[in-house]
Structure 1
């Protein structure tokens, strides 16, 4: 009951139930609030305006900075799921598309992907593994 009741309370005390003490919110409730907000941002269930993953994560980060969400837990959440979550479909600047298969803990902006479409979005005969973290800044993308 506590988890469900508390996860609607923001770190600044707004939300419901009203007049709740934000300092007494249990950590699992803070985590659930972040996950619930992330789900809402991605699906747009209440707003009708779903956001791309990147924008949803930016929104969580901003809410953490403003004190609406637990900033430390938001940072941990983003580090755990990565900027590019596993199985997310991504489009490279070249137009090629791939599926994220892993994230680098050292650099969340350099995932490992499996290229599945070329620059004109035609399916590749065989998926091509590609690891951004081993590509030096002087090399070009294959």
Structure 2
């Protein structure tokens, strides 16, 4: 598996050199300050680490412990209502992602996260916030 269930991961964007994080103040996914991939995890970071959760059917969900919420795709990348990592509701399609092999770079495995419900990928906008790709 490209992302093993139970592991803690950081989502780094190679173009913007930022980690995606779950901002508790506005409910959106945004980007960290510019950091090199190998600076993860930075001391004191709580918004950037995500637990890989088995979402069934070969999919994963990504849970942030500090916020106790999942990454959610909607019109933008946002966060789910509060749920423990082991309590992903069966009907939540916006929180489930298929992990796609995107090759290697900087000595690390690259992946893309595709949401079948919206048929779109997780992306990072030019200003560093979490975005949704055009339909794929």
Taking structure 1 as the reference length, what is the TM-score of the superposition? 0.24
Structure ID, larger Rg: 1
| Structure with the larger RCO, 1 or 2 (CA within 8 Å, 6+ apart) | 2
Q: Which structure is higher in strand share?
A: 2
Taking structure 2 as the reference length, what is the TM-score of the superposition? 0.25
